[in-house]
């Protein structure tokens, strides 16, 4: 059974204070690892997909990296508008055409002035 | 561009009452469609997915059912709601493995 564990559960940063969120996973044949951002009361918004160990993706102040056992979401010089819950999800191979993602419980990030 | 519509945004229902949540997608044809539930303190849980009209796969045995009467319409239903059905329900469609979510329905069963 696929498992996704995210840490920490909650993180409070001051504006400009860089940090990393962790996503460790267990899956039989990784087809893709996904990062989403979710604001309160809204649906998750897609950020990145990583497919193989060593891959990196960047978007503004966010950079996602992937190893064979975990992924990190690095946040450089965060701003208050980066406050949200960040979700990690994995998809194993052999699921046909459906995107059956297994999600972690997320990291709630709060960035203060 | 593709858009996904989900309604209602919030819903308060008594135990034992029926449920119908609707989701429609615009700007694409024959999308894969999904219903997820997000309970407090838990990750998103896949409930149902559909790869075509009338084709429904259930991931978790439960009190809910899903239907896809039209290509871009996905409906989540229940004949009698339980307290444990409370949660945040999300409809999604996929494009090359990426999921794109609707705005969600917060369901409270009292």
A90 min Cα distance to partner chain B (Å): 10
Contact (CB, 8 A) for B73 and B53: no
Average pLDDT of adjacent 10-residue blocks, chain A of 113 residues: 91 97 92 95 95 95 96 98 97 74 95 96
**What is the structure's pLDDT at B71?**
93
Nearest CA in chain A to B90: A43
Contact (CB, 8 A) for A8 and A61: no
**What is the structure's pLDDT at B29?**
86
- What mean pLDDT is predicted for residues B23-49? 91
Q: Does the pLDDT of residue B41 top 80, yes or no?
A: no
**What is the structure's pLDDT at A28?**
83
Angle subtended at Cα A17 by Cα A14 and Cα A18, rounded to the nearest 5 degrees: 140
Contact (CB, 8 A) for A10 and B41: no
**What is the structure's pLDDT at A94?**
65
**What is the structure's pLDDT at B40?**
80
pLDDT band (50, 70, 90) for residue B19: very high
CA distance B43 to B37: 8
Do A46 and B106 count as a contact with CB atoms less than 8 A apart?
Answer: no
Q: If you write DSSP's letter for every residue of B26-91 in order, what string do you get?
A: ES-SS-EEEEEEE-TTS-EEEEEEEEETTEEEESS-SS-EEEEEETTEEEEEESS--GGG-EEEEE
pLDDT in tens, B48-89: 999 999 999 988 868 899 999 999 999 999 999 999 999 999
Do B94 and A98 count as a contact with CB atoms less than 8 A apart?
Answer: yes
Structural domains of chain A ordered from first start: 3-94+103-112 (2.60.40.10)
Out of B43, B90, B97, closest to residue A99 by CB: B97
Domain ranges, residue B97: 3-109
**What is the structure's pLDDT at A27?**
87
Out of A97, A101, A104, closest to residue B99 by CB: A101
CATH number at residue B38: 2.60.40.10
Average of per-residue pLDDT values in chain B: 92
């Amino acid at each position: 059974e696929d498992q996704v564990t995210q840490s920490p559960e909650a993180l409070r940063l001051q504006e400009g204070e860089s940090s990393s969120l962790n996503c460790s996973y267990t899956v039989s044949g990784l087809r893709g690892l996904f990062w989403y951002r979710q604001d309160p009361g809204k649906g998750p918004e897609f950020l990145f997909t990583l497919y193989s160990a060593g891959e990196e993706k960047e978007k503004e102040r966010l950079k996602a990296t992937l190893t064979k056992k975990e992924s990190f979401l690095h946040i450089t010089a965060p701003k208050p508008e980066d406050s949200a819950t960040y979700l990690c999800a994995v998809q194993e191979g052999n699921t046909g055409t459906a995107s059956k993602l297994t999600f972690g419980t997320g990291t709630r990030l709060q960035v203060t002035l | 561009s593709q858009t996904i519509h989900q309604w209602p945004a919030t819903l308060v229902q008594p135990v034992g009452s029926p449920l119908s949540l609707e989701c429609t997608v615009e700007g694409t044809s024959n999308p894969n469609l999904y219903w997820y539930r997000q309970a407090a303190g838990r990750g998103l849980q896949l409930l149902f997915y559909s790869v075509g009209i009338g084709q429904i796969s259930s991931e978790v045995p439960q009190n809910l059912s899903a239907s896809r009467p039209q290509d871009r319409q996905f409906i989540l239903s229940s004949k009698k709601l339980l307290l444990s059905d409370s949660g945040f329900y999300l409809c999604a469609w996929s494009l090359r493995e990426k999921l794109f979510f609707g705005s969600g329905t917060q369901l409270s069963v009292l």
